[in-house]
Structure formats: C-alpha cells, structure tokens
Structure 1
Amino acid sequence: MEMADCKTRRLVVDSGRPDASLIRAAGVALREGGLVAFPTETVYGLGANALDARAVAGIYRAKGRPADNPLIVHIDSPRVLNRYIDQIPPVVWRLAARFWPGPLTLVLRGGGVFPPEVTGGLDTVAVRVPAHPVALALIRAAGVPVAAPSANASGRPSPTTAAHVLDDLAGRIALVLDGGPSGLGVESTVLDLSGDGPVILRPGGAIRQDLEEVLGPVEVDPAVNGNAVAGSRPRSPGMKYTHYAPRAPLVLFEGHDPGRVAAGILADAGRLAADGRRVGIFAYSETAPLYDGKGYSVVVAGNRHEPDSVAALLYASLRRFDRLGVDVILAEGIAPDGLGMAVMNRLRRAAGGRVVTV
C-alpha cells in the first residue's frame, strides 16, 4: 500500500470529535502494514506499525529517508511504556506527569522489542504520547505502537496540513487523515535520558526552561546549533541531515540587531537581483516594511517577539516560497530563546550551513 503507484485516500475528520468509523478504518490500515498520515499537535506524522519491520521500512521508501535516521514511537499513554521499554528511569514518570500527552519525546535505553528500522540500529528508542485527539484515537484503534516521522519527503519542510502531505507523498502512502492545520507547527523536543544526564537532541514544543523546572540543568547537544560530529550516527531525528528545506537554497542571517540583519539581507538581495535572480525574503512583521517596493517576494512569518507565532507559520512559509518560484531565499533569524531555539534549529537545518552573522 505504500508503493509509489497506490492511490492515497484522504479522509476528513473532526479533530474535536473524530468519527469512530473513519478512525477504525485507519487503524486497520496501520495494523495490516499500511502507511497512514495523521495530524498531531506538532506537525503531521507518517505512521506505521512500529512492531512490523516491513511496514516501517515502507516509511523510509515513501519519504526517501536515510536508513540510519531513527524514528519516534507514538503510544497512547505512559501506562503502556512497560510493555516496550525494559529500562525506565524514575524521572520518566515525573516528565510524563508534566508533559504527556504533549510535544516531548524521550530517548530511553532498552526497547529491544522494536526492529532496527525503528531505532536506526541503536540500543535506544525514542517515544512520546501525542496531544491530539485524532492521533490518540488512531493509536488506540490500531492497537499497536505507531512509528511516525513527519509526513513529508525527506529533507522538505514538515507538513502542517494534509495538503502539504499530499504535495509530497500522494501515491506513496495508503491514507491521510485530514484533521485541519496542526497547532504548534514544529516537532516535539527530543530529550535523551540514556546517558549520565538529560540532553536535548532536538529542541521543540517542550522548551528548555520548562524541562529544567522538573529536571534541573539540561544540556543541549552541539548538533542543535549545526555542530554535528562528522561520521556520527544520529541519535534523534533532525540531528545530522539537512532538513526542512524549501526547493530554493536558503541563506540564514543571524544577529542581535534586527535593523542590521535587514540591512545585510537588502545588500545581498540587491546583488542577487542585479544578477537576474528572483529573491525571496523570509521576514517578520516588524521588519517586513523595510523590504516593500523593491520587487522581492516577501513572506511574513509572524512576530519576532512571539516565537510561538513564528513556529506556527514556519513550515507553511517555507513551502510558500516554492509556489512563488524564487531562486534564492534570504531569511531573518530570531533570538534562540524559548520556542525560538526550535525555530532557529529548523532554519539552520534548512540553510544547510549557509549562515551569515551580521
């Protein structure tokens, strides 16, 4: 069902009160080895039965995903952790009480019940409980844990609507549950609990400050800021490869002074436009007027002082540049505070090393 010549069905579901018959049909498709895209509170996920190696392998084929990039296992309650994980640190229960259901993924040792297609060949497994009625209902209907990365072609901006899923994966997956736009707009935080202390491998919806209220000091892996060790195996999705990228190359401009950042972008945009390049600018509401009337394709991604608004618009904004047909995108960064850390991580990944500090 996950082959490129299949017909992808799109079922519209009410996120508040999902239709039980539609959810049952999707659960059967998952249990029988099909691939089902579904909404979560972060982005849309592409699910497969996490206990079925053949089904999980279909995720990698559909997405074109590198085989060493581990997946996140979605469960419907912390109470079922003991079925799959044989080494559960006591701190897990404190985190679960605070953050589950919600945008926090925990990397734990054990989990040998899952095939290596799920774990990326590691001795750890990443697991979370999503906070979305459709996702939870689907997991319960399937009766199995669900392995699910974002439901996009590998390397592309993550999908926050069913339309984004179909843009990338129509004909490659069995079914899309269309529950409307996802809310948060960026993926879950991935927190590694398998070592000596807690380490953020990927920033996301659960911010560092909130984690530290439960855990005390929390480290951030160097790969979060684009400093992955060459040749290392990724311990979490989003650590090693270029991700979240629109079709045109993106250059990220970082700096503390928004005016200087905008001036740097305008200088580069002028040179590129003089060479005949169609320039896109990823901006915020405060600086967007600086680019008016200059012939550039400007996409406004929220307010730089409200990183939650930027996160909600981030991936849709990056995908919009594809429709605008630009040749290059010049993007403004924001302060990496709170949810801004997740936004900057995604923009740095999308830039693939093309970062200018001003």
Structure 2
Amino acid sequence: METIRWSVDINVEKQKSYPHISEAADFLRQGHVIAFPTETVYGLGADATSDAAVQGIFEAKGRPSDNPLIVHISTPDELQDLVASISPEAGQLIKAFWPGPLTIIFNKKAGVFSDLVTAGLDTIGIRMPSHPVALELISHSGKPLAAPSANTSGKPSPTSAEHVARDLTGRIKGIVDGGETGVGLESTVIDCTVTPPMILRPGGVSAEEIKACIGEVHVDPSLKKEQSAPRSPGMKYTHYAPTAPLYLIKGKADWIQQTIERLQGEGKKVGLLASEELAASVKADIVKMCGTREDPSTIARGLYHAIRSFNDTNADIILAEAFDEKGIGAAIMNRLEKAAGHKWINESSS
C-alpha cells in the first residue's frame, strides 16, 4: 500500500482552504486508516462507527483486538449522539480540560460504535484533542475517530510524523504531518461512570488538577500491575519498549555510576536514559537526555523520542532514571514502568 504524506501548517485554523485535510478526511470516510497529530502523540484514526475501518487500525498496528480504543471528537456537542449520559463530574471536567489531553469514560449509546472500539465493554473513552490539525480533520471527516497511538504495537508512541513513517509506511493510507507534538505523553483517562470517578491512566492532566476541579478522585490500584481485562485504552500488554531491555534505576549518582561500570565489566554496552542533571554527573556508553528535572514537562515531551533513539544504537541494556511522581511525573513513571516491564534496579535493595 502506498502511504501518502501530507504536510499541514499547525496554524490551519487561520487558513481559508484545507486541501490536504479534505483529502485525508475523504479517505477516512471511505474507511481508510490515517495517522494525524494531536497535542499528546500521533493518533492512528479510523471511522469509529465502522467495523471494517476499525479493523484496519488493529491490522496496521499488529494490536490485539481485546484492547479498547479512544474516540476523538471535534466539539463537545457531538457527545449527545454518542453517549447515554453525562455525569455532573464529567461535565465539569469537559468545561475545565476540553479541548485537551483528558479522556473521559462514559456509558456508550447503543448501536453507535463498532464493537471493536469498545472491546465488548458497555463504556466508551472519548476526548476532544486541542491540536488544531486534529480538530479540523475530525470535523471535515464528519465522523468520530477511533485513534490509538500511531505506532506498531509495543513500540514507543510517536511524537513526530517521522516516527509514524518508520513504523507504518506501507501499512496505512496516509500520514497528516503537523509537526512535533506538544505534551509528548498520551491523555489522562478517567472513568466518570463510577462514584467517585477513577483515574485509569495518568497522562497530560494530573491527578492534582482533576481533584482541584471535581473533588474526590480515586486512582486505579491496578496501575502498578498487569491486567487481564483492561478498563482503559492502552493499558494491557507491555508498551513503549525499545529493542534493548530497559530497567528503571533509582539511587545516588555515584551508585548509578558503579552499577553502569559493573554492567560494562560484564561486557555490556550500557545506555542511560536520563535527565540533564543526572547525565552531567554519570557516564555510560550511550546517553540520551529527555529533559530537565527542573521542568518535568520537558521530560514528558522528550521521553518517547529518547526511548526510540536507542534503537539506532548498539546498547545491550538501557538504564532509565526514575522520577518524582508528582504532577505529570505520575504519567512519566507509568510509561517508564510499562517500557521496563516493571523491572527495577534499586540502590535501597542492592
């Protein structure tokens, strides 16, 4: 399959015509799969009401079909045709965080979505992205778009069109190139069908921000372990992993240096995924910096690119710095734990 690549200016809402977006939207209406940018990561979009279109997502990604997908819309008004009801808490969250990196779980309206989108659940995860290119594409398609991250299943999520092209050229109809994404990590997922609402996946909106908006919120305790039946999109199976095995490492810089030297003594090429601060005080065979601890949002933006970049190296093992879990740090550590398969090297237990 030939994969078309359209370059679109992020300031698309200021333009009077949208030839590339219109062409991509036509393909979506025809049941094709199209990758597009959001403010979090690139999504792999298809008509959420069509079994055949959604099946194309799973085939392109190589993703098991028992994992539910997030649906993307362009205005909150579309919800009335998609969900059974909107709780007061969901309404408050919509006003506070849409458009933006927050997915809300609703009870779905019967007979609207392909069953492949919900993986047999009675609920549906929906969000309204803030990326102007995404909003224009969804609006032009006239369809709610199911859109998981636009990568081969298990690989780090893509934060640029080039990442998408590496994984999916020849497997999808097209890629709408809107430049690099902003947040760098997927949306927060919160279930508003339960009381109190429950965060099922940490992401671009922090638990602290949500609590300030609606009050009491629970966090799914299963976030720290593998699940057999995921309640949230993208939370089953190991994700985000590079080719070389990745371990989270926590300890003082001198101990981390000693650990690296021990692994090097065993004949291993050691990669280090680190903040600017740790990278300045520790040496390894390959060092990839993902941001500064002074501004955790820079780590979120740089994380997936840094993880992916190790695949172009000869690293035998990758040690990833552990970060504080406050704010967006919870999402950073959730993704790193998934990438590591929950494998740790910890000074306190050595």
* TM-score normalised to structure 1 length: 0.93
Counterpart for residue 180 of structure 2: 181
Counterpart for residue 189 of structure 2: 190
Counterpart for residue 56 of structure 1: 54
Which whole-Å CA distance do the structure 2 matches of 1:275 and 1:214 have between them?
51
Counterpart for residue 123 of structure 1: 122
The Cα shift of 1:219 comes to 1.1
Counterpart for residue 139 of structure 2: 140
Which whole-Å CA distance do the structure 1 matches of 2:59 and 2:246 have between them?
26
Q: Residue 200 of structure 1: SS of its match in structure 2?
A: strand
Which whole-Å CA distance do the structure 2 matches of 1:234 and 1:215 have between them?
25
Q: Which moved more, 1:183-192 or 1:267-276?
A: 267-276
Any residues of structure 2 matched to 1:221-260 within 5 Å, and which? 221-224=220-223, 226-229=224-227, 232-254=228-250, 260=251
Q: Residue 163 of structure 2: SS of its match in structure 1?
A: helix
Query: In the alignment, is the contact (CA less than 8 A) between 2:68 and 2:234 conserved in 1?
Result: no
Q: Which moved more, 1:19-28 or 1:333-342?
A: 19-28
The Cα shift of 1:323 comes to 1.0
Any residues of structure 2 matched to 1:62-211 within 5 Å, and which? 62-112=60-110, 113-211=112-210
Which whole-Å CA distance do the structure 2 matches of 1:120 and 1:197 have between them?
24
Structure 1 counterpart of 2:280, from 289, 292, 308: 289
The Cα shift of 1:196 comes to 2.3
Counterpart for residue 324 of structure 1: 313
The Cα shift of 1:141 comes to 0.7
Matched, 1:347 2:336: yes
Relative distance call for 1:247 and 1:111 in structure 2 (3 A) is farther
Counterpart for residue 10 of structure 2: 15
Q: Which moved more, 1:327-336 or 1:282-291?
A: 282-291
Counterpart for residue 257 of structure 1: none
Q: Which moved more, 1:215-224 or 1:67-76?
A: 215-224
Q: Which moved more, 1:271-280 or 1:165-174?
A: 271-280
Which whole-Å CA distance do the structure 2 matches of 1:238 and 1:277 have between them?
32
The Cα shift of 1:228 comes to 3.6
Which whole-Å CA distance do the structure 2 matches of 1:28 and 1:144 have between them?
11
Which whole-Å CA distance do the structure 2 matches of 1:100 and 1:150 have between them?
19
Which whole-Å CA distance do the structure 2 matches of 1:264 and 1:193 have between them?
44
Which whole-Å CA distance do the structure 2 matches of 1:344 and 1:305 have between them?
16
Q: Residue 85 of structure 2: SS of its match in structure 1?
A: coil
Relative distance call for 1:111 and 1:355 in structure 2 (3 A) is farther
The Cα shift of 1:267 comes to 2.8
**Identity across aligned pairs (percent)?**
48
Gaps of 5+ in 1: 1-5, 255-259
Q: Residue 246 of structure 1: SS of its match in structure 2?
A: coil
Counterpart for residue 23 of structure 2: 25
- The code of the aligned residue for 2:75 comes to S
Gaps of 5+ in 2: none
Q: Residue 291 of structure 2: SS of its match in structure 1?
A: coil
Q: Residue 277 of structure 2: SS of its match in structure 1?
A: coil
Query: In the alignment, is the contact (CA less than 8 A) between 2:81 and 2:109 conserved in 1?
Result: no
The Cα shift of 1:261 comes to 4.0
**CA deviations over 1:146-173 (Å, ceiling 9, x no partner):** 0000000111100000000011111100
Q: Which moved more, 1:280-289 or 1:341-350?
A: 280-289
